[in-house]
Amino acid sequence: MRKAIYTKLIEIPALGNRVFQPYTAGENPTTPYAVIKMLGEDPTFENRLGSIWPFSIFLYVSPDSFVLLDTLVIAIKGKLDNVTLTTSNGEKFTPEYIKTLDDFWDDTRNLLMKRVDFDIGGARK
C-alpha cells in the first residue's frame, strides 16, 4: 500500500520525488516535501470482521508560504481521496480522506507543517 501511495504523491509536481518515510528525510531536505506515515490496523466495532488502516501525510514547506501548504493539501486529496490504488501484488484499495489538522510550526526544522489523514477500509483476513 505504501508504494502505491508514494507513486501517486510523486505525481504532484511541487513535491517531485521528495516523498519520504518517517525518519528518512535527512537533515535538511529541499522543501516542499511530504512524509508518509502508515499507522496500525484499527478494528471497526460495528463489524467484527472489518478494520481500517489509517495513514497520514505530513507536509513540510518553507515558512514563507501558507498558500503552498494549502495548495499541496488540495493536490494530495485529489490524488488519494476515493481513488482506487493497486499494490504490487495486485490488491486494490481506496483511501478515504478523514481530516486535515491545524497548521503547525516544526521548531526542529523551522518549517511549516500540516497533517492530512486518510483511512483505508478493509476486512480482516
Tell me: the pLDDT tens digits for 65-95? Answer: 889 999 999 999 999 999 999 999 998 999 9
The CA distances from residue 30 to 60, 86, 111, in Å, are 10, 29, 11
45 close to 55: Cβ distance less than 8 angstroms: no
Quote the cell numbers at residue 56.
497520514
Q: What value does the mean pLDDT take over residues 114-125? A: 82
Rounded to an integer, the average pLDDT of 5-25 is 92
The domain at 2-123 falls in which architecture? 2-Layer Sandwich (3.30)
**Domain edges within the chain:** 2-123
C-alpha cell at 107: 521548531
pLDDT, averaged across the chain: 89
- All three cell numbers of 45: 466495532
The candidate with the shortest Cα–Cα distance to 118, out of 29, 10, 4, is 4
The pTM of the full predicted model, rounded to 2 decimals, is 0.89
> Residue 114 pLDDT > 80, yes or no?
yes
